[in-house]
Amino acid sequence: MKFKTVGNPNGPKILLIHPMFATSECFVNLVEYLKEDYFVITPTLDGHDINENSIFLSVEDEGNKVLAYLKDNSIKELDFMLGTSLGAIIAFEIYKRNEIRINKVYLDGGPFFKFGALLQKVAAKKFCNICSEVRQNPQKAINKIERLFKGLGNEMCEVACHITEESIKNLAHACYSFTLPNLKPVEQKSVVFLYGTKEPARFCIFRLRKYKYSRIIKKNGFSHCGYLLSYPKEYAEMLKENTQ
pLDDT tens for the 244 residues of the chain, in order: 999 999 988 899 999 999 988 899 889 999 999 999 999 999 999 999 988 889 999 999 999 999 999 999 999 999 999 999 999 999 999 999 999 999 999 999 999 988 877 877 877 777 777 777 777 777 776 776 766 667 666 777 788 778 888 998 898 888 888 889 999 999 999 999 999 998 888 888 988 999 999 999 999 998 888 899 889 999 999 998 866 6
Domain membership of residue 224 (yes or no) is: yes
> Each residue of 87-102: b (16+ CB within 10 Å) or e?
bbbbbbbbbbeeebeb
Residues β-bridged to residue 43: 3
Q: What pLDDT, on a 0 to 100 scale, did the predictor assign at position 141?
A: 65
Tally of domains within the chain: 1
Domain membership of residue 83 (yes or no) is: yes
Domain membership of residue 131 (yes or no) is: no
Domain membership of residue 172 (yes or no) is: no
| Rounded CA separation 33/11 (Å) | 14
Closest CA relative to residue 193, chosen from 103, 84, 86, 114: 84
Domain membership of residue 169 (yes or no) is: no
Chain length of the chain: 244
Domain membership of residue 64 (yes or no) is: yes
Domain membership of residue 163 (yes or no) is: no
Q: What pLDDT, on a 0 to 100 scale, did the predictor assign at position 240?
A: 85
Q: What pLDDT, on a 0 to 100 scale, did the predictor assign at position 199?
A: 86
Put the strands of the sheet holding 39-44 in their side by side order. Answer: 2-7, 39-44, 13-17, 80-84, 105-108, 191-196, 215-219
Domain, as residue range, for 92 = 2-113+178-243
Query: CA torsion, points 65, 112, 54, 14, in degrees to nearest 10?
Result: -40
CATH of the domain at 34: 3.40.50.1820
| Rounded CA separation 107/92 (Å) | 8
Domain membership of residue 125 (yes or no) is: no
